[in-house]
Chains A and B, each alone.
Chain A
Amino acid sequence: MSVIFVLIGVSMVVAGGFLIGFLWAVKKGQYDDHYSPSVRILFDDQEIKDQENEETHGRASKQEESENKDKKEDDSKSSQEN
């Protein structure tokens, strides 16, 4: 019967994981806006990609620029998280 102690320990860890998951989701603002994500996922971003491709193929320098920006954005993200 002592196995019950182990099982309870395991179940607490699993449940605790879900609790942490929930708290994390609240903190990240997943419950702030429940409308836009449902719409956002349906957007077809084909057109814009095409346009970006054209531009980047046309001018190499532009591509570099946009890469730099991506980097910056990543930086900004990471520093925000910090």
Chain B
Amino acid sequence: MTNIAEDTKNEACIHCGDDCGKHPVIWDGKPFCCSGCSTVFQLLNENELCSYYNIESTPGIKIEEGKFKEKFAFLDDEEISSKLYEFSEDAIRKVSLYTPGIHCSSCIWLLEHLNVLNKAVFKSTVNFVKKEVTVTFDSNELSLRQLVELLASIHYIPEITLDDLQEKKNQDANKKLLYKIGVAGFSFGNIMLLSLPEYVPGSEYLESHFKSFFGMMNFILVLPVLFYSGNDYIISAFKGLKHKFINIDVPISLGIITLFVQSSFQIFTSTGSGYMDSLAGLIFFLLIGKWYQSKSYQALSFERDYRSYFPVAVSKIIEGEEESTQINKLKKGDVILIRNQELIPADAILTKGEALIDYSFVTGESRSVLKSIGDHLFAGGKQVGGAIEMCIEKEVVQSRLTQLWNQSEEKEIYFSKLNSLIDQISKYFTLTIIVIGALAGFYWLLHDTSKAVFAFTSVLIVACPCALALSSPFALGNTMRMFGRLGIYLKGADIVEALSGVDTIVFDKTGTITQADAVRVKYKGEALSEQDLDAVKSLSRHSSHVLSTILYDHLKMSTSRKVHDFKEMVSLGLSGHIEGREVKIGSASFILASKAENLSGSTEVYVSIDGQVKGRFIMSNQYRTGLNELIESLSLNYDLHVLSGDNDAEKSNLAKIFPKNSSLLFNQSPKDKLEYIQTLKSRGRKILMIGDGLNDAGALKVSDVGISIADDIYNFSPACDAILEASKFQELKRFLSISKKGMWVVKLSFLLSFAYNIFGLYFAVQGILSPILAALLMPISSISVVAFASFTTSYFARNKEGKQILKKNDVLPSIGKVSKKRVQLN
């Protein structure tokens, strides 16, 4: 029997595509990996929605069962739910829910057919880019909570955080830019058409009333361009000057204002046709550059703070009754109930129950801490085990964790911007052109006074740094896109510049250089028979302790049997009777009774059957693939540091991987990490910090570039500058070198645009800049610089893409869906 089962390949779950193991859940002759998946299938089958499975194969999402049972109770609170509605009148409600599970066309199909599952839903629309589903429904028949639970029942769990309750961020910025581009494009096109007669041979025969009519039309058309589309540049330049700082917008504004005044003067005095086409074109191109640079990853969140981590509400106990309360309304002295796997929202004192708190979010320490009644509990810890009650000591905003967050928030964005290359150049650039213009004007004042003003304004016009201003958005914007394709998502294009200047790299340990979920389990001791393995598995099934879960997952191939007299000794181990034998698993002190020694510092679980010690399972962190090679190549050019919140059990292993001069620090609290980065910074280091958890959040914020690494990029990453797909970790070195090449391209584009400027200045200082020359020079320089910047950066990033694709097949096949636990059998 067993042989046959071993030979046949395990079937893949129809719903989520996971390995079903030896004993799949069978429903209607189809295999499922768990009852959760099969329940969804049954639900869809009942409602004849099985097309879901035809559009894409195994589109489903696997979740652990029953996790959402009470989770959404807070949505019954009218005050909370009313903040989430986009629209409500009578019984009709419209709500947009961020649902990170959306990943394929099947998802769109199913979520847009919600009305089949529940008649109270009128309409549901998916925005794939934002991973949002917008539902219009009848609140008399379906409450928001029921709606969310309906989504959860088909395994699309919406993520509702405190952030959603805050004032909805104005997403109109992007739309506004598009409006401006539309208006500028419209005017630019028409002005070009009206200016063309001036440029063709024979224009001197054009009747004067046509000339003045065209001039007036140009003047009218350029007004919205200058005052609506281009106002950002003028405002920004004005603000810069107010702070006594010359940014790139200063020479641009100087150029466009001179263009406007000069042209208007020429039009109204009928002395010329002006340069209105150059002005409109300039602003149009600049806006396109801005749009190209601002395109960002909407579905990713780079700004998450503690609010996104905490639940929206918890159960507060008032006179023995549970009541769902928003966490920002919790007051000192309130008693709250925290269930298994729930986060503690505020610093509190344990009043009832036995707490086993997992602080890995906050500290990075992977082992849970046992707390008894009267002990202090800190915000951010997660309860593992039964429900506990606690008395709030501090309000949410005052808790230790939140304070840490606010402390690091002081980083001034304005000042980081000051240092960007383009703004440094623009200072000298502006002064230079003003000097050149003044000299030219002065020269003509002595020789031919009629040309003096014209020469001065021509210099300002021709030197307007359109190409200069475009080169960096396109080079960096394009590099950012290339990065996105390769698996690293930047918050903005300016991060490329910051990344290229990095000289020190700081790694977090747990979850960054080790894989978050992957634990290597080794067994040492007397060989265990299949029956023994079954027994261990059945025992571990009954406990929610981290180690039990790891062990349970590790013993995938075994079957669980019935356990009698199950006992769980907290922080010691488990015992029970299986098939008449007494089986114990647990710590050394529990199994070996007296000899409580742990030399290696690694985590071990001992097994004994009928009082006889069989051996131990050793669990150690699994390093990310390619770590050795990566560290080796990085150590040549960068200073490397490791900050771990965990104990130093892995120190000897890490010392082998990292070069001798790198510092390895252990037992670092989040605050230690933050301060460490600040000390390095004060020594003038440019720091890249790579971390994954809440415990790194402060450090990520203060470092020059904070990258958070994630298995599923749509879930749970702390505020950072970039999100790196975990599977692309070994490519880090390459990302750094691409960013350097990107900056190199920017500098070359600068040179190119300077060359155009010198060419233009040659005519301008002589006072012979004609409108047609300006009209030709401006687009030619801009377009050539843009083309150069885009093509070269693409070339550099693509250079190795062939190799990349080959490599892809070697790494884990599916990323982003469910983090798969890699278990090695020894």
Flag B99-126 by CB within 8 Å of A: 1 or 0 each.
Answer: 0000001001100110010010011011
Q: Is the CB of A76 within 8 A of B94?
A: yes
Q: Is the CB of A40 within 8 A of B127?
A: no
| Cα–Cα distance between A67 and B183 once the two chains are bound (Å) | 43
Q: Is the CB of B109 within 8 A of A43?
A: yes
- Output the residue of A27, A35, A48, A76 with the most chain B CB within 10 A: A76
In chain A, positions 1-41 with a C-beta closer than 8 Å to chain B are 1, 4-5, 8, 11-12, 15-16, 18-19, 22-23, 26-27, 31-36, 39-40
* B positions within 8 Å CB-CB of A: 47-48, 51, 55, 87, 89, 92, 94, 105, 108-109, 112-113, 116, 119, 122-123, 125-130, 136, 138, 175, 178-179, 182-183, 186, 189-190, 193-194, 207, 210, 213, 217
Instruction: List, sorted by A's number, 28 A–B pairs whose CB atoms are closer than 8 Å.
Output: A5-B213, A8-B217, A11-B190, A12-B190, A15-B190, A18-B186, A19-B186, A26-B178, A27-B175, A31-B175, A32-B129, A33-B128, A35-B128, A35-B129, A39-B105, A39-B108, A40-B112, A43-B55, A47-B48, A48-B48, A48-B113, A48-B116, A51-B116, A69-B122, A75-B92, A76-B89, A76-B92, A79-B89
Choose among B92, B126, B189, B190 the residue that contacts A36 (Cβ–Cβ < 8 A): B126
| Cα–Cα distance between A32 and B92 once the two chains are bound (Å) | 24
Q: Is the CB of B48 within 8 A of A26?
A: no
From DSSP, what is the main secondary structure of chain A's interface residues?
A: helix
Choose among A18, A19, A36, A51 the residue that contacts B128 (Cβ–Cβ < 8 A): A36
Would you call A80 an interface residue if the criterion is a C-beta within 8 Å of the partner chain's C-beta atoms? Answer: yes
Known contacts: A39-B108, A43-B109, A76-B136. The answer to whether A23 contacts B127 by CB under 8 A is: no
Would you call A64 an interface residue if the criterion is a C-beta within 8 Å of the partner chain's C-beta atoms? Answer: no
| Cα–Cα distance between A31 and B291 once the two chains are bound (Å) | 13
Chain B residues with CB below 8 A from A27, complex form: 175
**Which 7 A-B residue pairs are closest in the complex by CB-CB distance?**
A35-B128, A39-B105, A36-B128, A19-B186, A73-B122, A33-B127, A76-B92
Known contacts: A26-B179, A33-B130. The answer to whether A1 contacts B207 by CB under 8 A is: yes
Chain B residues with CB below 8 A from A39, complex form: 105, 108-109, 128
Known contacts: A35-B129, A36-B108. The answer to whether A23 contacts B136 by CB under 8 A is: no
Choose among A16, A18, A47, A72 the residue that contacts B51 (Cβ–Cβ < 8 A): A47
Nearest CB in chain B: distance from A67 CB, A: 13
Known contacts: A26-B178, A73-B122, A79-B89. The answer to whether A44 contacts B186 by CB under 8 A is: no
- How many residues from A make CB contacts under 8 Å with B? 37
Residue of B nearest to A44 (CB): B51
Chain A residues with CB below 8 A from B122, complex form: 69, 72-73, 76
State the total of A-B contacts with C-beta under 8 angstroms: 83
Chain A residues with CB below 8 A from B213, complex form: 5
Chain A residues with CB below 8 A from B94, complex form: 76, 80
| Cα–Cα distance between A8 and B196 once the two chains are bound (Å) | 13
Q: Is the CB of B186 within 8 A of A36?
A: no
| Cα–Cα distance between A75 and B186 once the two chains are bound (Å) | 36
Flag A52-81 by CB within 8 Å of B: 1 or 0 each.
Answer: 000000000000011001001101100110
Chain B residues with CB below 8 A from A19, complex form: 182-183, 186
Q: Is the CB of B189 within 8 A of A15?
A: yes
Q: Is the CB of A26 within 8 A of B92?
A: no
| Cα–Cα distance between A69 and B269 once the two chains are bound (Å) | 66
Nearest CB in chain B: distance from A2 CB, A: 10
Known contacts: A73-B122, A73-B136. The answer to whether A36 contacts B127 by CB under 8 A is: yes
Nearest CB in chain B: distance from A70 CB, A: 8
- In addition to A48-B116, A51-B116, A76-B94, 15 A-B residue pairs with Cβ atoms within 8 Å of each other are A18-B186, A19-B183, A22-B182, A32-B127, A33-B129, A35-B128, A36-B125, A36-B126, A39-B105, A39-B109, A40-B112, A48-B113, A65-B119, A72-B122, A72-B138
Residue of B nearest to A50 (CB): B48
Q: Is the CB of A72 within 8 A of B116?
A: no
Q: Is the CB of B48 within 8 A of A31?
A: no
Q: Is the CB of A23 within 8 A of B105?
A: no
| Cα–Cα distance between A23 and B175 once the two chains are bound (Å) | 9
| Cα–Cα distance between A47 and B194 once the two chains are bound (Å) | 57
Chain A residues with CB below 8 A from B47, complex form: 51
Known contacts: A1-B207, A15-B190, A36-B126. The answer to whether A69 contacts B138 by CB under 8 A is: yes
Nearest CB in chain A: distance from B103 CB, A: 11
